[in-house]
């Protein structure tokens, strides 16, 4: 055992000088490996920095090529002429690209009230210019347009001696609070609306049976405008609406009425139930439209003095309004939809009244 230990120690002592001789003045193998590792790590860092710089340069060059390609693609696309784009809009072929915020702009236009005296839209402005009783104070048309309908508006303004001017689109957008104006904006003198007592006097003095339309809390100005358009087309004497919880006769409503709101009386009442009682006292048959009506539209008596009552878009007729009506009538439906839009229902009911009375047909549209 001792001899073996002595032999092993000798061999170790003999091997150490040899390794030291191989190392010489360079030191131990551990120190040499450390210096070699430091040199290698510094070389790796320099290599990584070079590769990183090359990668960044490649990315920048690729991004530059992409941007250049994007610019070339944009420049190569055919640019639509401004007049062509607006002509396509007036013809009903506008796209979301032309009006990306159409719905939002229309909602902004709701804030233009009837007191402002401003109307917009080609049809609404044309109706005002064609009505001698409508005092149009000024007219603004879109500058640079080659549109026949805008040219006709300018001709109408010249014939009536109404001053008009041409404005760029941003200016018209500001005038209309960002609504879709179709390049035509007019300012008119506020029209004085009659009172409900004035309507009662007209009923008493009129020999022909009157046709009235009552609106119970219609809140959407577009529905109000569409209803007034149908009412004007079928000879309604006046539209009677609630003062509270009711849509204003804003510029949006006037545009939806296609100008009919400028010559059709809109009367506001505080208590619609009381107004119905006063109409019934004068022999007017009051019919409320409801899905659960006890009579259909075809069965209802519509040939005499009639007042049709339209309810709220979602809630329908209020309880007191229902109780004051002589009858509730319904429009029979055969399809899958359980109800109609209130403006559509009003148009159908007014047509049925006109048909039963044998009103002469003055127009086909």
Nearest to 30 by CA among 19, 15, 45: 19
pTM of the model: 0.60
Is beta strand 327-330 parallel, antiparallel or unpaired with respect to 295-296? parallel
C-alpha 203/C-alpha 194 separation (Å) is 13
User: For residue 277, is pLDDT > 90?
Assistant: yes
> Quick check: 142 and 86 in contact, CB under 8 A?
yes
Q: Which long-range contacts (CB under 8 A, 24 or more apart) does 274-278 make?
A: 275/196, 275/214, 275/240, 276/214, 276/307, 276/309, 276/321, 276/324, 276/325, 277/324, 278/196, 278/200
Is beta strand 306-310 parallel, antiparallel or unpaired with respect to 285-289? parallel
User: For residue 14, is pLDDT > 50?
Assistant: no
pLDDT digits 0-9 by tens, 15-72: 444 444 444 444 444 445 455 555 555 566 665 556 655 555 555 555 554 444 333 3
CATH architecture group of domain 196-357: 3-Layer(aba) Sandwich (3.40)
For the record, the structure tokens of 130 come out as 């064609």
> Quick check: 167 and 143 in contact, CB under 8 A?
yes
Distances 75 to 58, 70, 71, 78 between C-alpha atoms, Å: 25, 9, 6, 8
Nearest to 150 by CA among 179, 185, 199: 185
CATH architecture group of domain 105-188: 2-Layer Sandwich (3.30)
- Domain map (residue ranges) of the chain: 105-188, 196-357
Q: What burial letters (b/e) apply to 168-187, b meaning 16+ CB within 10 Å?
A: eeeebbebbbbbbbbbbbbb
C-alpha 74/C-alpha 48 separation (Å) is 38
Nearest to 253 by CA among 128, 119, 53: 119
Nearest to 254 by CA among 228, 281, 292: 228
Distances 223 to 66, 242, 275, 312, 329 between C-alpha atoms, Å: 50, 14, 22, 10, 20
> Quick check: 218 and 310 in contact, CB under 8 A?
yes
> Quick check: 182 and 213 in contact, CB under 8 A?
no
pLDDT digits 0-9 by tens, 191-213: 788 999 999 999 999 889 999 99
CB atoms < 10 A from the CB of 194, how many?
13
- Tell me what the pLDDT averaged over the chain comes to: 76
pLDDT digits 0-9 by tens, 103-145: 444 444 444 445 557 888 888 898 889 888 788 888 999 987 7
pLDDT digits 0-9 by tens, 287-333: 999 988 989 999 999 989 999 999 999 899 999 999 999 999 999 99
């Amino acid at each position: 055992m001792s001899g073996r230990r002595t032999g092993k120690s000798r061999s170790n002592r003999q091997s150490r000088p040899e390794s030291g001789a191989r190392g010489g003045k360079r030191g131990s193998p551990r120190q040499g490996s450390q210096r070699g590792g430091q040199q290698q790590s510094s070389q790796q860092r320099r290599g990584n920095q070079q590769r990183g710089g090359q990668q960044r340069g490649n990315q920048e060059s690729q991004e530059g090529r992409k941007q250049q390609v994007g610019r070339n693609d944009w420049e190569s696309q055919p640019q639509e002429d401004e007049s062509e784009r607006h002509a396509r809009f007036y013809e009903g072929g506008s796209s979301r690209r032309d009006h990306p915020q159409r719905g939002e702009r229309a909602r902004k236009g709701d804030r233009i009230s009837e007191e402002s005296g401003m109307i917009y839209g080609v049809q609404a402005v044309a109706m005002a210019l064609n009505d001698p009783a409508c005092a149009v104070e000024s007219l603004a048309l879109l500058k640079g347009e080659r549109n026949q309908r805008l040219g006709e508006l300018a001709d109408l303004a010249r014939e009536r001696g109404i001053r008009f001017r041409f404005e760029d689109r941003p200016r018209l957008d500001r005038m209309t609070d960002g609504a879709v104006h179709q390049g035509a904006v007019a300012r008119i003198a506020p029209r004085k609306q009659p009172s409900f007592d004035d309507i009662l006097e007209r009923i008493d003095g009129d020999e022909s049976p009157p046709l009235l339309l009552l609106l119970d809390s219609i809140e959407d100005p577009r529905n109000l405008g569409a209803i007034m358009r149908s009412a004007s087309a079928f000879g309604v004497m006046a539209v009677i609406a609630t003062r509270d919880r009711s849509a204003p006769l804003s510029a949006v409503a006037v545009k939806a009425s296609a100008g009919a709101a400028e010559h059709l009386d809109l009367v506001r009442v505080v208590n619609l139930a009381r107004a119905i009682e006063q109409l019934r006292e004068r022999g007017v048959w009051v019919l409320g439209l409801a899905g659960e009506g006890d009579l259909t539209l075809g069965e209802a008596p519509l040939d005499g003095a009639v007042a049709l009552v339209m309810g709220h878009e979602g809630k329908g007729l209020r309880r007191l309004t229902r109780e004051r009506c002589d009858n509730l009538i319904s429009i029979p439906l055969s399809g899958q939809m359980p109800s109609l839009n209130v403006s559509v229902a009003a148009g159908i009911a007014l047509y049925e009244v006109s048909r039963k009375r044998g009103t002469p047909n003055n127009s086909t549209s």
